[in-house]
Amino acid sequence: MKPVAPAEFVAAPARLPLVTRRRVLHGVGGIAFAGLATVGYGAGAEAQSLMVTRYRPAPRNWPARLRLTVAVISDLHAGGPNMGVAHVRRAVDTANALSPDLMLLLGDFFATHRFITEHVPHPVWAAELARLKAPLGVYAVFGNHDWWHNIAATRAALAGVGLPALENRAVRLAKDGQPFWLAGLGDQLAHKLGPGWYQGEDDLPGTLAQIGDDAPVILMAHEPDIFVDVPDRVALTLSGHTHGGQIRVPFVWQRLVPSRYGARFAYGHVVENDRHLIVSGGLGTSGVPVRLGVPPEIVHITLGGT
């Protein structure tokens, strides 16, 4: 075997940069620094920011004469570092400042990740939500994390401050004498049966069967996947759960959205076959207390009035 001179190993073409251990370490250090800075930004500035996202959907079956404004708080996941009680308070104050006709809470009320730095007890986040004010009321549905971690305590917390939760129930409301229905669906992932296998508490046919006249319908459903089964009769479906992807690493995040439909219902206003869905990116975090590319948001919706 012909011996190979060490020079043949280390010599590099003159036009190419010489790869030395120092340069490799600089490169790795730079990437690590950029990664840490990104995570730091995602855990700090972005996860603790707050924005209001506004929509003006025009569903075919919502009467133009019925102007209704709705503020939506989804996926509160109360708990530090990013959703400590001060931030919960700020979210409530921001929602109140919008002065909507109706406030809707779309579930997943408390943080369940392993990195909680500030525990916000159930009665504390519930007391903050009890400060929400809207002339047509404040209504809630529960989310999968509420079910997986303590549905009894979540139910008790909302009931303790007089906030009604709609579980497969529809209520008839009216704005300026014009009726509409608000329906709330039981959680679709309530019971974990195995990896990726769940049994829900949702009963869409039973919920919609309670609608006794032809007034327009708003449906609250924590997870957006139900949208494929929602009939034309419903003017607008409101969901959360996905956190908009939460950490939008380019090219990858779409595969990490917790939905059977990938990014199809991940975020925003979706219109399919004349049916309307709005998915909130929510406020808090799950898994890790980091957000990237999807800042915490309160959704403000205006229906009708055109």
Residues binding Fe ion (CB under 5 A): 108, 143-144, 241
Q: Report whether 245 contacts 267 (CB < 8 A).
A: yes
> What is the DSSP secondary-structure string of 209-277?
TT--SS--EEEE-SSGGGGGG--TT-SEEEE-SSGGGSB--TTTHHHHSSSTTTTTTSSEEEEETTEEE
Q: Between residues 84 and 143, which has the closer beta carbon with respect to Fe ion? A: 143
What is the number of H-type helices and E-type strands within the chain? 7, 13
Q: Between residues 144 and 168, which has the closer beta carbon with respect to Fe ion? A: 144
* Cα(90)–Cα(83) distance, integer angstroms: 10
* Range 186-203 burial, b when 16+ CB lie within 10 A, else e: bbbbbeeeeeeebebbbe
Q: Quick count: other Cβ atoms within 10 Å of Cβ 51?
A: 11
Nearest-approach distance from CB 106 to Fe ion, in angstroms: 9
Q: Between residues 190 and 235, which has the closer beta carbon with respect to Fe ion? A: 190
Nearest-approach distance from CB 77 to Fe ion, in angstroms: 9
125 burial class (0-12, 13-18, 19+ CB within 10 angstroms)? buried
Give 220's strand partners: 184, 238
Nearest-approach distance from CB 168 to Fe ion, in angstroms: 18
Nearest-approach distance from CB 145 to Fe ion, in angstroms: 5
Q: Between residues 108 and 128, which has the closer beta carbon with respect to Fe ion? A: 108
Q: Report whether 30 contacts 262 (CB < 8 A).
A: no
Q: Between residues 69 and 237, which has the closer beta carbon with respect to Fe ion? A: 237
Q: Between residues 62 and 253, which has the closer beta carbon with respect to Fe ion? A: 253
Nearest-approach distance from CB 189 to Fe ion, in angstroms: 7
- Residue 256, token pair as written in the block: 């990490």
Q: Between residues 101 and 225, which has the closer beta carbon with respect to Fe ion? A: 225
Q: Between residues 108 and 202, which has the closer beta carbon with respect to Fe ion? A: 108
Nearest-approach distance from CB 294 to Fe ion, in angstroms: 14
* Cα(39)–Cα(18) distance, integer angstroms: 31
* Cα(83)–Cα(103) distance, integer angstroms: 20
Nearest-approach distance from CB 195 to Fe ion, in angstroms: 17
Quick one: how far is CA 71 from the chain centroid? 14
Name the residue number minimizing CB distance to Fe ion.
241
Nearest-approach distance from CB 48 to Fe ion, in angstroms: 20
